[in-house]
Amino acid sequence: MSTISDAKSQQVASAKPRKEMVSNTSKKPNLIIIHTDEHNFRTISAYQKLLPKEQAFVWGEGNNSKTPNIDKLADEGAIAMSYYASSPVCTPSRASLVTGLYPQATGAPKNGLHIREDIPTFATILRDQGYATSYVGKWHLAGEEKYTFGIKYKAGFEDNTYMMTGGHAPYFHIKNGNFRGINQNVASKLPQDEVIHATDFFTEKTLAILERDKDQPFAIMLSIPDPHTPDYAKPPYNTMYEHLKIEAPKTMEAQYTAIKPSWAGGQNENDKNEAIGKKAFANEKNALKQYFGMISHIDDSVGSILKFLTDNNLTENTIVIFTSDHGDMFFEHNRRNKSVPYEGSARIPFLIRYPEKIPAKKVIHTAYTNVDFTPTILSLMGVNTEANFHGLDTSDDFTNAQKEITGDRITYFAKSGGWWVSAVNHRYKLIIDKREKPYLFDLQKDPDEVINFYEDPEYKEVAKRMQEELFNQLKKYDEPGLNQRQAYVTK
C-alpha cells in the first residue's frame, strides 16, 4: 500500500512554484499532454470521420465510441493519420515520447525498466527554460511496481507528486494517507467518500495544478491509465454502449487467420490475450463496450481541461495534445492487446491544437513515430536546445498553411528485443522478421493488412526502397536486432 495525501487535499493547489518561474505574460506557450494507455486510434471519432467506413467501424457499422471533446483538437488544430509508437509496448513507447530517442538509447527498451537519468527529456529542457513542469498519472518508467508514488527520479517534472509507477485498477481507495488500487467489487463495499475512479483522480489533480500554475508558463503531462484492461468503465459509462451489436472483425475469419505470419500471433487459442478464437470473442465482446465507455469517460475529462483553458483565457497560447503509448487490437487478426506491427497495435492517435500557430482542420498523412515528439514540440514552443535526438523536428508540417499534407517520409518502429522491425510511410508498411519472409502491406489498397505484396513485381521498387531505408535507419540508430546472432530474413 502506498502513502499519499487524501484525494480531497489541497497539496497540489497550495504547493509553491519554483522561484525561477516567470510570469505567463512572457507569452511563452503552455503545454498540456493528455496521454492514454492501450488506445485504439479508431475509437476517436475524429479518425472515424476520415477513415473509410469499413475501417472506422471494424466491429460492425456504427459500433464505436464518440469523442466530441477530443475531436475539438482536430477541428481546431491538426490530426496525424500515420502516427506510430516507437515500439507498441508501454515502457519503450513512453521512453521515446519524453526523450526523442529510440527505446534502445533510453535505458528502457522493455517493460519494467528505468529510464536513464543522464539523458534530457522535454521536461528537463522546459524546466531549465523556466517552465513549471508537472506529471500526473501512470509513468511506467521506474520499474514494475504498482500504485506507488514518491518516484525519486523526476525526469524534469518538478512536481511529480501524482506520478504513479503503474497499475490499472479502476478505483483508488484513499484513507488516512494510505492509497491502494482496487476493483469495482471492492469499491462498492467501501464508503464512497474514500473511493475515487483513477481517471477522475488524475484529472482532478491536473486541474488543481493548472489552477496553481495558470499565471506562469506551464507544461503538464496527464497520463490516464485507461482504456486498458481490465476493461471496466464506471457508471454511467458502463452502460453507454450496451445497445451495440458487436461483430467480429473481418480479419478474424479463418481465411485470414490461417495464413498469418508468426510475428502476428493468433495461431494458438490457448495463448492468453494473443489468440482469442470465436468462442472467446463471444465471451469477451462485451469488454469492447466497456472499452468504449472508458473512452467516453476520458473524453469528458478532456472536456473539463479544455473548459478550464477557455474559462481562464488560456486557449490561444496553450498547446494541447492527445496521444497514447500504443493501441489495442481488440479482436482484429484474432488478437487482443498490442506488441505487433499491425495498425491496431502500433498506430496511435495524435491530435494537437495550438491556435496561435497551427491552422484549424489540418490533416497530416506523413508518417511519424513518437520519437519525433520531443524535437517537434520543443520547436513548436520556440525552445532551442543542444540536446541530440533521433526523431525529427516536424513542426513545419503542423504550422504551414497547407490544410492537408502527404509527405513520403519513411520512418521505422520495432518490437522490443529485436525480433521484427517495420518501415512505414503514408501508404506502405514493410515488416522484416527473423523467422519469416518480409511482408509488404499497401495500406491504401489493403487497409486490413492481409495481402503480402512483397514479391509482387509491381511493388519491386517500393519494396527495395523501403527495405534499403529501413536498414539505413536501423544502423544509424543502433537497433539491437542488428547485433544479435540471428539475422533478419530479407527475401
> How far, in Å, CA of 428 to CA of 448, rounded?
12
> What's the pLDDT at 12?
40
pLDDT of residue 277: 77
Q: Which residues contact 405 (CB under 8 A, 6 or more apart)?
A: 362, 363, 364, 365, 366, 397
> Which domains, and CATH codes, for the chain?
28-409 (3.40.720.10)
Instruction: Give the Cα separation of 19 and 16 in Å (integer).
Output: 9
Q: What share of the chain is helix, strand, coil (3-state, %, to 5)?
A: 35, 20, 50
Cβ within 8 Å of residue 185, ≥6 positions away: none
Residues of the chain with pLDDT under 70: 1-26, 266-275, 418
What is the spatial distance between Cα 142 and Cα 115, in angstroms, rounded to a whole number?
Answer: 7
**Distance from C-alpha of 439 to C-alpha of 114, rounded to nearest angstrom:** 33
Beta strands in 99-237 (DSSP E): 132-138, 159-164, 171-175, 178-182, 195-197, 218-223
- What would the grid cell of residue 252 be? 478474424
**98 with 117: CB under 8 angstroms?**
no
pLDDT of residue 94: 98
Tens of pLDDT, residue by residue over 426-478, are 999 999 999 899 999 999 999 999 999 999 999 999 999 999 999 999 999 99
Q: Measure Cα distances from 142 to 91, 92, 132, 282 in Å.
A: 9, 12, 22, 37
Q: List the beta bridge partners of residue 441.
A: 429
- pTM recorded for the entire structure: 0.94
pLDDT at 85: 98
Q: What is the pLDDT of residue 25?
A: 41
Nearest by Cα to 371 from 99, 139, 66, 168: 99
List, in sequence order, every residue forming a beta bridge with 159; answer none if it has no partner. Answer: 134
C-alpha cell at 161: 507528486
The pLDDT of residue 2 = 64
Give the integer Cα–Cα distance in Å for 206 and 132: 13
What is the distance between the terminal CA atoms of the chain, rounded to a whole angstrom? Answer: 52
d(CA 121, CA 118): 10
How high is the pLDDT of residue 254? 84
Confidence at residue 258, expressed as pLDDT on a 0 to 100 scale: 73
